[in-house]
Amino acid sequence: MRKFELIILLMLSTGFFSCGSSLKSSKSATPISEKEITPQDMLNRNKSGDFLFHNLSLKGDGKFQSKKEDLSFSYRVLMVQDSLIWCSISKLGIEALRIQISPDSIEVLDRLNKQYAHADYSFLQRLTGMDLDYRALENLLTGNIVFVKDSLLADPKSKIPHRFLGKKDSTFFAYHLNAENFKVNRMEAENTAKNQKTFITYSTFKELSGFLIPEYILLTVVKPERNQLELTHTRIERDQAMLSLNFTIPESYARIRLR
C-alpha cells in the first residue's frame, strides 16, 4: 500500500494555489467596490459564505505527481456532514482504494493488494504537521477556512491584496481571499520546526443553492518532500435524497498499519 499512502493523505487534506479564473459569484453575496472592501468586510463575508450541506457527492479526475510517481485516477467522494466521508479511487475503471473516514478513525481498503488498514488522526497530523481532525477535512474539501478562522489579521506588508495571517501552535497560516466572491483562493501552511510547508489552491467555483464550492483543487506539499495532487470535480451534487455508502472488510484481506 506504500505507493498509495501519500495519495490517501493528499485526498484527505486537499487544497492550494490558484489565480481563480472563471469564478462565479454567490447569489447571497452583495457586490461592493474594491475601494469599499475592508479586511473585516472580507473576513465577515467569507464566513457568511461558508459552504454548508447535509450530504455531498463529488466525482472527478485526479493527478498525483512526485519524484517517483506520476499517476492519473478517477474518484468518487460521498460526505455526510459531521459524521462520514466515503471515497473510492479507481484506475482505468478498476477500483484501487476505498476509504472511509469517521470523526475518530480512518479505514482504507486496498483492493489491488487485498489489504486493509486502520489509522487515527495522528497519522495525518504526523505527516502534515497540521492539527487535522474530521471537521478540518470537511472544510478543506469544501473550500472553507479551516484553521485560525477567528484570529486572522490582515498582512500589512503584503503586496497581494486580501492576504490574512494566523498562527496555531508552531504552524503559520496565510489565506488569500478573492474580492469577487470572498472565497479562499489559496492557503499556505508552514511549520519550520517540523520542516513542513504546504500550499492549497482553489478555483472555478460552482454555485449550488446559493453556496459556492471549488471545482478545482491543487494541493502542493513543498516540504519535506515535494508532491502535488490535482483534483478536478466533474460532478457535484448537494443534499441528495439517498447515498450508497458500502464499506465491507473481506475476511481474506491482510491487516496492515499506516505509518
Alpha-carbon gap, residue 52 to 46, rounded angstroms: 13
- pLDDT tens across 175-187, in order? 999 988 999 999 9
Residue identified by cell 492557503 is: 187
Give the residue, 248 or 28, on which the prediction is more confident: 248
Any bridge partners for residue 100, and if so which? 86, 107
Any bridge partners for residue 203, and if so which? 216
Task: Single out the residue of 79, 44, 45, 42 nearest to residue 59, CA to CA.
Answer: 79
Question: At 61, is the pLDDT very low, low, confident or very high (cuts 50, 70, 90)?
Answer: very high
Any bridge partners for residue 94, and if so which? 91
Kindly report the pTM of this predicted structure. Answer: 0.79
Give the residue, 127 or 16, on which the prediction is more confident: 127
Look at residue 34 and tell me whether its pLDDT is greater than 80: no
What is the pLDDT at residue 123? 74
Any bridge partners for residue 218, and if so which? 201, 230
Question: At 131, is the pLDDT very low, low, confident or very high (cuts 50, 70, 90)?
Answer: confident
Q: Cis (ω within 30 of 0) for the bond into 224?
A: yes
As a whole-number percent, the residues of the chain with pLDDT over 70 amount to 83
Give the residue, 25 or 60, on which the prediction is more confident: 60
For 172-191, what is the HEC assignment?
EEEEEECCCCCCEEEEEEEE
End-to-end CA distance of the chain: 11
Alpha-carbon gap, residue 39 to 24, rounded angstroms: 21
Among the listed ranges 3-7, 121-125, 222-226, which one has the minimum average pLDDT value?
3-7
Query: Are the C-beta atoms of residues 53 and 143 closer than 8 Å to each other?
Result: no
Query: Are the C-beta atoms of residues 57 and 235 closer than 8 Å to each other?
Result: yes
Residue identified by cell 517540523 is: 194
Alpha-carbon gap, residue 38 to 55, rounded angstroms: 34
Q: Where are the beta strands (DSSP E) in the chain?
A: 55-65, 70-80, 84-91, 94-102, 105-110, 115-119, 153-154, 163-168, 171-177, 184-191, 196-208, 211-223, 227-238, 254-257
**How high is the mean pLDDT of the chain?**
82
Q: Which residues of 216-229 are buried (b: 16+ CB within 10 A; e: fewer)?
A: bbbbbbeeeeebbb
DSSP code, position 225: S
Give the residue, 257 or 139, on which the prediction is more confident: 139
Query: Are the C-beta atoms of residues 169 and 131 closer than 8 Å to each other?
Result: yes
Alpha-carbon gap, residue 18 to 191, rounded angstroms: 22
Look at residue 25 and tell me whether its pLDDT is greater than 50: no
What is the pLDDT at residue 13? 44
Top-confidence range, 4-13, 53-62, 118-127, 128-137:
53-62
